[in-house]
Chain A
Amino acid sequence: MMNEWIPLMVVIPMLCAVIVSAFNKWSKPIKILVVIVAICIPIIPLIAQYGIHYFGGYAPMIDTVTGILYHPSITYIFNILQKIFIFVLGIVTFLVVFIYVNKYKKASGQYLFLIFMGTSSATALLLTDDIFNMFVFFEILALVQVGIVAASRLEGNFEMALRYLILGAIGSPIMLLGIGFLLATTGSVNITDIVSAIQNATISVKSPIFLMSCGLIFFGWLYASGLPPFHTIKSGIYSKAEPHAAALLQCFTVISMISILLIMYRIFHVVEFFELLVVIFSAIAMILGITLALTQTDFRRMIGFLAVGELGFIGLGIGLYTQFAITAGLFQALNEMIITALLFLGFGAIVYTTGETDTRKLGGLLQYHPKVGLMILLGGLAMAGVPPLNGFRSKLMLIQASLSCGYPELSLLAIIVSIATFVVFVKMFYTIFLRPKPKELEISKNDLPRSMIFAMGILLIMIVVIGICPNIVTYGISQYVGGILL
Chain B
Amino acid sequence: MAYTQLAVLLTSGLLVIIGLFAAIFIDNIIKKVIGISFIEEGVNLFIIAIGYKTGGVVPILIPGMDKSWFATNAAYPLPFGLVLSSIVIGASSLAVMFAIVMVLYKKYGTLKTSVMLADHSHGSVNDE
Contact = CB atoms under 8 A, between A and B. Distances in A.
Direct contact of A and B (CB under 8 A): yes
Interface of A: 132, 135-136, 139-140, 142-143, 146-147, 150, 156, 158-159, 161-163, 165-166, 168-170, 173-174, 176-177, 180, 183-184, 187-189
Contacts of B39: 169-170, 173-174
A158 B103 contact: yes
A143 B92 contact: yes
B100 interface: yes
25 contacts: A132-B82, A140-B89, A143-B93, A143-B96, A156-B120, A159-B104, A162-B97, A162-B100, A165-B93, A166-B97, A169-B23, A169-B97, A170-B23, A170-B36, A173-B40, A173-B43, A177-B16, A180-B47, A180-B50, A183-B50, A183-B78, A183-B79, A184-B50, A188-B78, A189-B78
Contact of A169 (B36, B46, B76): B36
B85 interface: yes
Nearest to A160: B117
Contacts of B107: 158
B46 A177 contact: yes
B89 A159 contact: no
B89 A183 contact: no
Contacts of A166: 23, 32-33, 36, 97
A147 B78 contact: no
Given A170-B20, A184-B50, A165 B78 contact: no
A170 B86 CA distance: 14
Q: 7 closest Cβ contacts across the A-B interface?
A: A169-B36, A173-B43, A180-B47, A162-B100, A139-B89, A173-B39, A184-B50
B117 A159 contact: yes
Contacts of A158: 100, 103-104, 107
B45 to A, nearest CB: 10
Chain A, interface SS category: helix
Interface in B73-108: 76, 78-79, 82, 85-86, 89-90, 92-93, 96-97, 100-101, 103-104, 107
Most buried by A among B42, B97, B104, B120: B97
Most buried by B among A135, A156, A165: A165
Say which size band chain B's interface belongs to: 20 to 34
Contacts of A146: 96, 100
Given A139-B89, A180-B47, A163 B117 contact: yes
A242 B78 CA distance: 41
A168 B40 contact: no
A76 B79 CA distance: 20
B54 to A, nearest CB: 16
B18 interface: no
A180 B100 contact: no
Contact of B100 (A136, A142, A161, A183): A161
B116 interface: yes
Interface string B28-50: 00001100100110110011001
Nearest to B122: A297
A165 B97 contact: yes
Given A183-B78, A184-B50, A136 B96 contact: no
A195 B81 CA distance: 22
Contacts of A173: 16, 39-40, 42-43, 90
A473 B40 CA distance: 41
Nearest to A162: B100
